[in-house]
DNA sequence: GCCCACAGGGAAAAATTTTTCCCTGCCACC
DNA sequence: GGTGGCAGGGAAAAATTTTTCCCTGTGGGC
């Protein structure tokens, strides 16, 4: 386990929210589970681009925060499904808000990045 | 300048939104500007914990995305103020949503992190 | 026995972000 | 001339996150 050297500032609600959803692949994982893709192997199949190890780490982190919980069926070999806790469910509309904002403005942002010249004032149409 | 080796996936609105707000101190910076703390030196004074260099980098990044723009007064020495663009303003309610969610659930999340035992099913009251 | 799918994690490397240190230049004040 | 506030950035170090590689164990099918 990695041990932080600089303590985190987590008083602020925004900082907490960003810690929870901020991992590189967490949003995609949450979207999978929201669509019913709940088993680790199924998530791995959907997210070919991402190594299973990483997905497992994110799942564990989300479980640790209480966003997801693990349903472990007493079969052999054990079958596992991840589900949202109530707090996890409350996160979904927040993610939808972010997604909507991003989709609305992504062309604007991409265009700005392309044409950016430090110091130049640019007023692109939104 | 750092040059990425792995290309970013920025089709998804959520990914774009997280790229824009995801830096370590960006939310705080945006909050400063929202409260009228607009000059670099004023932001530096408010954010004692953070090295000026970092704040400058975040400011530049937000300017590059078109979230902020720079008003440079033709004085000498030049006076600079950062302001929100229209797109930047549209981000504020989104940040407020995140902040509210985080404040509502941060105790829950902190408690979960403390008591977390892998594999243990826990159903804390929200 | 061998190979497959399944769930999972340790250790180290690589990539990325954050931080520190120190530099530029402008002007004002004493 | 020295000191201070202002705006800003290069280079390297440190911290953190992501990734790769390889390992554990279970059971099923052939």
In this structure, are residues B42 and B79 in contact, taking their beta carbons and an 8 Å threshold?
no
Read off the tokens for B49.
């914990």
What average pLDDT does the segment A55-78 reach? 91
pLDDT of residue A120: 53
Mean pLDDT of A38-46: 95
- Of the listed ranges A44-53, A62-71, A108-117, B14-23, the least confidently predicted one is A108-117
Q: Provide the pLDDT for residue B76.
A: 76
Closest Cα of chain B to A22: distance in Å?
Answer: 7
- Residues with Cβ within 8 Å of B63's Cβ and at least 6 positions away in sequence, in order, are A116, A118, B69, B70, B82
Q: What element of type H or E holds B48? A: none
Q: In A, residues 29-48, which contact B (CB 8 Å cutoff)?
A: none
CA of B115 to C1' of D12 (A): 40
What 8-state DSSP symbol labels residue A74? S
Burial label, B70 (beta-carbon count in 10 A; 0-12, 13-18, 19+) = middle
Confidence of residue A67 (pLDDT cuts 50, 70, 90): very high
Lowest mean pLDDT among A14-28, B42-56, B88-102, B104-118: B104-118
User: Who among B49, B95, B109 is closest to A66 (CB)?
Assistant: B109
Q: Residue B11: pLDDT band by 50, 70, 90 thresholds? A: confident
pLDDT at A43: 96
pLDDT at A10: 85
Find, among A98, A100, A109, A102, the residue nearest to A17 by Cα.
A98
Give residue-wise pLDDT tens across range B34-81.
999 999 999 999 999 999 999 999 999 999 999 999 999 988 778 999
Q: How far is B55 from chain A (nearest CA, A)?
A: 16
Q: In whole numbers, what is the pLDDT of chain A averaged over residues? A: 90
Chain A interface mutation, best of B4, B11, B17, highest count of A Cβ atoms under 10 Å: B17
The yes-or-no verdict on residue A125 having pLDDT over 50 is no
| Average pLDDT score, chain B | 90
How much is the pLDDT for A24? 94
Torsion of CA B76, B77, B79, B80, to 10 degrees: 120
A80 touches strand C (CB under 7 A): yes
User: What residues approach strand D to within 7 A at the CB?
Assistant: A 2, 4-6, 23-25, 50-51, 53-54, 57, 76-77, 118; B 1, 6, 39-41, 44-45, 52-53, 56, 59-60, 70, 72, 77-80
Residue B119 confidence (pLDDT) above 60: no
Instruction: Give the CATH number of domain B13-115.
Output: 1.10.10.10
Torsion of CA A114, B78, B72, B66, to 10 degrees: 40
Share of chain A above pLDDT 70, in %: 92
């Amino acid at each position: 386990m990695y041990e932080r050297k600089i303590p985190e500032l987590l008083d602020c609600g925004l900082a907490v929210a960003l810690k929870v959803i901020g991992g590189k692949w967490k949003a995609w994982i949450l979207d999978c589970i929201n669509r019913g893709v709940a088993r680790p192997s199924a998530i791995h199949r959907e997210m070919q681009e991402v190594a299973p190890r990483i997905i497992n780490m994110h799942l564990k982190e989300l479980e640790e925060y209480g966003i997801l919980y693990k349903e472990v069926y007493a079969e052999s070999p054990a079958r596992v499904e991840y589900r949202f806790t109530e707090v996890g469910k409350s996160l979904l509309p927040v993610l939808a808000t972010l997604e909507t904002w991003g989709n609305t403005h992504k062309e604007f942002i991409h265009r700005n990045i392309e044409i950016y010249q430090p110091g130049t004032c640019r007023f692109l149409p939104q």
